[in-house]
Homo-oligomer: A and B are copies of this chain.
């Protein structure tokens, strides 16, 4: 039951990127579960990865390969995360890259591996023997829609974004796909994101941008506070459109930057909209913080509070729970008398207490909406941060309690 979610269908090919998809039967039969992205020579590739200390074998290997060579292929499987699998798991990831390297005539280091699915099970290597040649057979530029479905695990809907913009008279395409529903529910909902453009961007600049985009998109979404062992977000620039960004401060760079940022944000928000059991899409915005850290501490404490989340589910503007969450967020020397809290344009907390003009009816009207913003003004500085989250519903408990049982 995704919230205000429209399935994206109008994918535009990105020159220099071909996609191949296969039913490899990694874990399940009769569904697409392997995706290969082929990148034209000279493409720049940037990535950000999970901060979980238990990062999975493919994440470790992906980082290693990125440091050693320019990527020519990405190899993605669902059904098995190859996490918590020790040295043999790492070896399996290497073998999967070796297979694809052999089939395509590149070196193994030019392959970036990604896995999502159950934790702790050995990777089914026979599936790679089956899947890799099958996926290579149908490599095509117009395969994004099928790839969006091919990387799904517990997602209820495929997630995509595509747009053509004109920069310096050149048509530039940005197309991306993402997946993820809870954070690691049921150890299968790793967040993955692949965004490609045919603009040309240097490796270093692309990596800097990728980090900045992730920090205002995939790193600002939270369903349940859990962080997967496999989260990866990749940004590809093939340069095939003819547009080359050679000055990071140029108008062209800014236009591309903003367009890519939008792609990241929409793909990240799609994950929240399709969050496990989500019935609400909620923006938590913190204004006037003294630092980014305290803004995020407050925002995440509110976003992760089960009491706030169940109140959202109940469409109950239970402002005391929001206030209490702000209060326990760990901000030092907090002058509570300066705190203002709004839900949309309704002020609920004024100077640390209930706003005189606030009525339960006005609060309930906002909380009944499927989408709204909670804005917390700290009165301590000028830093703003925002993140996106969902409510906590019976469906969330059902999904997460019923898996495997």
B86 contacts A321, CB within 8 Å? no
Q: Are B323 and A226 in contact (CB under 8 A)?
A: no
User: Is the pair B400, A320 in contact by a Cβ cutoff of 8 Å?
Assistant: no
A307 touching B182, Cβ below 8 Å:
yes
A 378-405 contacts with B by CB, 8 A: 392-394, 396-398, 400-405
Report chain B residues within 8 Å CB of A352. 54, 84, 86
Interface string of A301-316 (1 = CB under 8 A from B): 0001111001101111
A397 touches which of B83, B326, B394 (Cβ 8 Å)? B394
What 0/1 pattern do residues 93 to 120 of A give for CB contact below 8 A with B?
A: 0000000000000000000000000111
Which of A68-76, A184-192, A266-274 is found at the contact surface with chain B?
A: A184-192
Q: Are B331 and A53 in contact (CB under 8 A)?
A: yes
Please give me the residue from chain B that is nearest to A349 by CB atom. B84
- Are B52's CB and A310's CB within 8 A? no
Task: Tell me the count of chain A residues lying within 8 A, CB to CB, of chain B.
Answer: 66
Partner of A327, one of B52, B331, B403, B405: B52
Does A393 lie within 8 Å of B404, measured CB to CB? no
A192-236 residues with Cβ-Cβ distance < 8 A to B are: 224-229
Q: Check B401–A311 contact: CB distance below 8 A.
A: yes
| A229-246 interface code vs B (CB 8 A; 1 in, 0 out) | 100000000000000000
B54 with A184: CB separation less than 8 A: no
- Across the interface, do A306 and B306 meet the contact criterion of CB distance under 8 Å? yes
Q: Mark A17-60, 1 if CB is under 8 A from B, else 0.
A: 00000000000000000000000000000000001111100000
| Given A53-B327, A227-B328, A327-B229; A404-B187 close (CB under 8 Å) | no
Out of B398, B404, B405, name the residue touching A394 (CB < 8 Å). Answer: B398
Nearest opposing residue in chain B for A353, CB measure: B86
Q: Identify the closest chain B residue to A227 (Cβ).
A: B328
Q: Distance (Å) between the CB of A160 and the closest chain B CB?
A: 27
Q: Is A260 an interface residue (CB 8 A)?
A: no
In the complex formed, the residue of B with least CB distance to A315 is: B405
CB distance from A378 to the nearest CB of B (A): 11
Q: How far is the CB of A333 from chain B (nearest CB, A)?
A: 9
Residues A336 and B53 in contact, CB atoms below 8 Å apart = yes
**B120 to A328, Cβ gap below 8 A?**
no
A261 within 8 A of B: no
- For the complex, is A262 an interface residue (Cβ under 8 Å from B)? no
0/1 interface trace, chain A 289-310, chain B, CB 8 Å (1 if under): 0000000000000001111001
Complex partner residue of A224 from B227, B307, B353, B400, CB under 8 angstroms: B307
* A225-B306, A305-B225 known; A84-B53 Cβ under 8 A: no
> How far, in whole Å, are A310 and B336 apart by their CA atoms in the complex?
34
Chain B residue at minimum C-beta to C-beta distance from A335: B53
Alpha-carbon separation in the docked complex, A183 to B328 (Å):
12
- Shortest A21–chain B CB gap in Å is 26
A309 to chain B, nearest CB (A): 9
* Residues in B whose Cβ lies below 8 Å from that of A402: 314
Contact A336 B224 (CB under 8 A): no
Is the pair A84, B226 in contact by a Cβ cutoff of 8 Å?
no
Instruction: List, in ascending order, chain B residues with CB within 8 A of A404's CB.
Output: 314, 316, 318
Q: Give 14 new A-B contacts, CB below 8 A, not counting A186-B318, A229-B327, A314-B404.
A: A84-B320, A84-B349, A85-B353, A119-B323, A120-B319, A120-B320, A120-B353, A184-B307, A227-B328, A306-B400, A310-B400, A314-B402, A318-B403, A318-B404
25 residue pairs from A and B, CB less than 8 Å apart: A53-B331, A53-B336, A84-B349, A85-B354, A86-B353, A89-B353, A120-B320, A120-B353, A186-B318, A187-B320, A224-B306, A224-B307, A225-B306, A226-B307, A226-B321, A226-B328, A229-B324, A306-B306, A306-B392, A306-B396, A310-B397, A314-B401, A316-B401, A316-B403, A393-B397
